[in-house]
Amino acid sequence: MAEAVNNIIMNSDPDAMKPGEGQSVEEVRAERKRKLAAAYRAFGRFGFDEGVAGHITVRDPERTDHFWVAPMGRSFKQMKVSDLLLVSHEGEVVEGEGLLNGAAFTIHSRIHMAHPRVVAAAHSHSLHGKAFSALGRKLEPLTQDACAFFEDHVLFEFTGVVLDCDEGEQIASALGDCKAAILQNHGLLTVGESVDEAAWWFITMERSCQAQLLAEAAGTPRPIDRDIALKTRETVGNSLAGWFQFQPIYDVIVAEQPDLLD
């Protein structure tokens, strides 16, 4: 099923479905920065911003031990490409101006260091993600969308505000090969092979947390059978599906807020 769906998508517009292929390093970097700024704005639109909490990062395609991130204190809703900081895994801001969020560095640098597969990572203190994380358990496959995370996310026990690199390493280790983590009493964390993928996993995981909270408040939900949930994950939870789902959101953000490209 997943292979058939992917083939249909790929045959529709192969070039659009393979971001980065045939592009120069400079073009890939510019694309990643555009998507990163747009992802911040999307998070702001969805209400995932809260004070200075939350961060999305993307690995630089040339300096792979560096990542791009927003400066602390800049509103998600006003993020521009020109605002972004380039940060080394040692915590040095080598390009851009502004404050580096300590938690962003501690968590994201360790994830990028430990997992070469991770191009982008997203974390925020979204309302339903926070509420669900307080339950201290994983998402159940109650809906088709939630199946994207079935047996593909972890639960990480709360250790306080993550400002110590050892804690960042613990989160990275706990994440393993999964696409997401529920940081207990804290919020959600998602990763992907692109900004698009990481951002979409966060958006749909937040909504899946909301759906489970609503279902459990209304009664006793009936989870999807394991075999069906795994088969569904192959379709809705693969990397290409994650990338593709973010494209309409990106298109709307750019069309309505072109100043993000400044």
Residue 235 and residue 241 in contact, taking contact as beta carbons nearer than 8 Å: yes
Taking a C-beta distance cutoff of 8 angstroms, is the pair 65, 22 a contact?
Answer: no
In sequence order, what DSSP letters do the residues of 211-252 get, joined into one string?
HHHHHHHHS---PPPHHHHHHHHHHHSSHHHHHHHHHHHHHH
Residue 147 has pLDDT above 80, yes or no: yes
5, pLDDT greater than 90: no
Q: Which residue has the higher pLDDT, 81 or 168?
A: 81
Residue 256 pLDDT more than 60?
A: yes
Work out the pLDDT band at 220, boundaries 50, 70, 90: very high
Residues above pLDDT 90, as percent of the chain: 84
pLDDT confidence bin for 22, thresholds 50/70/90: confident
The mean per-residue pLDDT over the stretch 136-152 comes to 98
Q: Which band of pLDDT confidence, cut at 50, 70 and 90, is reported for residue 211?
A: very high
Of 188, 167, 192, 168, the C-alpha closest to 178 is 192
The CA dihedral of 207, 118, 102, 79, to the nearest 10 degrees, is -60
SS3 93: strand
Note the pLDDT of residue 159.
75
At 163 the pLDDT is 62
Percent over 70 (pLDDT), the chain: 90
Position 260 confidence tier, pLDDT thresholds 50, 70, 90: very high
- Mean pLDDT, rounded, for 86-113: 93
Residue 32 in this model has a pLDDT that exceeds 50: yes
In this prediction, residues 65-79 reach a mean pLDDT of 96
pLDDT at 10 exceeding the cut of 70: no
Distance CA 230, CA 128 (A): 24
The answer to whether the CB of 30 falls within 8 A of the CB of 186 is no
Report yes or no: 141 and 221 within 8 Å, Cβ to Cβ. no
Would the pLDDT of 114 be above 80?
yes
Query: Average pLDDT, stretch 7-11?
Result: 46
Residue 115 reports pLDDT greater than 80: yes
Q: So where are the chain's domains?
A: 2-261
pLDDT level of residue 164 (50, 70, 90 thresholds): low
CATH number given to 2-261: 3.40.225.10
Task: Pick the range with the lowest mean pLDDT from 9-18, 58-67, 153-162.
Answer: 9-18
Number of helices and strands (H, E) in the chain? Answer: 8, 8
Q: Give me the mean pLDDT over the 108-134 stretch.
A: 97
* Average pLDDT along the chain: 91
Best CA proximity match to 103, nearest among 138, 137, 69: 69
pLDDT at 19: 56
